[in-house]
Amino acid sequence: MSVVALVLAAGQGVRLGEPAPKALVRVAGRTMLEWSADALGRASTVDAVQAVLPPGCARDFESLRRSWSGPARLLEPVTGGETRQDSVSRGLDAALRELPHSEFVLVHDAARCLVEPEDAERVLEAARATGAALPVLPVTDTVKIVEGGRVSGTPDRRTVALAQTPQAFRVEILRRALDQAERDAFRGTDCASLVERLGVEVVTCAGRSENFKVTHPRDLELAEARLLGSLG
C-alpha cells in the first residue's frame, strides 16, 4: 500500500512559553519537526513525508531538507491553516498532488518528537482492518467528569484511553471526514474524532508512554533528556 505521512507543525504552542512556534523549538540539537519527520521517514511502510508549517517559516525547513536521508521521500512543505483541521486538509491536499494514488495517510503531531518508526508501522497494520486506527494508552488513574467545578460522574477507567499520534486512515475516509466536519462546523481535537462521526469503526493499537506530547516546559526538559540519552 502507498502511504503518506503528514507532520503537523503549524501550532504556536503558547503553553510551552517559547518564542518560536512549538514544533520549531530545538530539543537535543534538532527541532521537534526534524525528530518527528525523520522517524516517520524511516518507517518501512511510509513512502513520503509532508510537513505542515506555520506561516512564514519555510526557511526553518531547510535544516530538515539538508539532513534528510529517508528512505521516504520528503515533500515540499505547505503552510497550515487557522485550525488543526485546516492544517490537516492543506497537508493532505498538497501530498495528494504529489502522490495522487496514496491509499493511507498518517497524521502525526510534530510535538510528539519521541515517535519511532515502529509506531507508524504498528498503527498502519491496525488500520488495515477498518481503514482507521490510532495508538492509545490505558488510563491508570480514576477519571472524573467535571462540570462547573463539580463532579458529575466517574466512568469506568477500563472504557477510556489516552489517544496518541500517529493516527492512520484510508485517504478517502479521512477526506470524507474532513469534508463532513467542515459542512457541520464541527471541530474535533484529533482526526479520529472526525472519522468516528462517519460511523467508521476506529480500531486501536498499543501506544507508548515515551511518545508523549511536548506541551509544557517540563515536557521539553524530559524530551531533551530522553533524546540525549538515546544518542549517548
pLDDT tens for 11-64 read: 776 666 566 788 899 999 999 999 999 999 999 999 999 999 998 888 889 999
Question: What pLDDT is attached to residue 17?
Answer: 59
Question: What pLDDT is attached to residue 135?
Answer: 98
Structural domain boundaries in the chain: 3-231
Q: Is the Cβ–Cβ distance between 95 and 169 less than 8 Å?
A: no
Instruction: Please name the residues in contact with 174: beta carbons below 8 A apart, sequence gap of 6 or more.
Output: 88, 92, 105, 107, 191, 194, 195
Query: Is the model's pLDDT at 230 over the cut of 80?
Result: no
Q: How far apart are CA 78 and CA 66, in angstroms?
A: 17
Q: Is the Cβ–Cβ distance between 72 and 49 less than 8 Å?
A: yes
Q: Is the Cβ–Cβ distance between 156 and 140 less than 8 Å?
A: no
Query: Is the model's pLDDT at 1 over the cut of 90?
Result: no
Q: How far apart are CA 81 and CA 55, in angstroms?
A: 8
Based on DSSP, count helices (H) and strands (E) in the chain, helices before strands: 7, 13
The grid coordinates of residue 203 equal: 480500531
| CATH number attached to the domain at 3-231 | 3.90.550.10
Q: Quick check: helix, strand or coil at residue 130?
A: coil
Query: Is the model's pLDDT at 229 over the cut of 90?
Result: no
Question: What confidence tens digit (pLDDT) does each residue in 81-130 have?
Answer: 999 999 999 999 999 999 999 999 999 999 999 999 999 999 999 999 99
Question: What confidence tens digit (pLDDT) does each residue in 155-191 have?
Answer: 999 999 999 999 999 999 999 999 999 999 999 999 9
The grid coordinates of residue 187 equal: 471541530
The grid coordinates of residue 56 equal: 512564514
Q: How far apart are CA 230 and CA 35, in angstroms?
A: 12
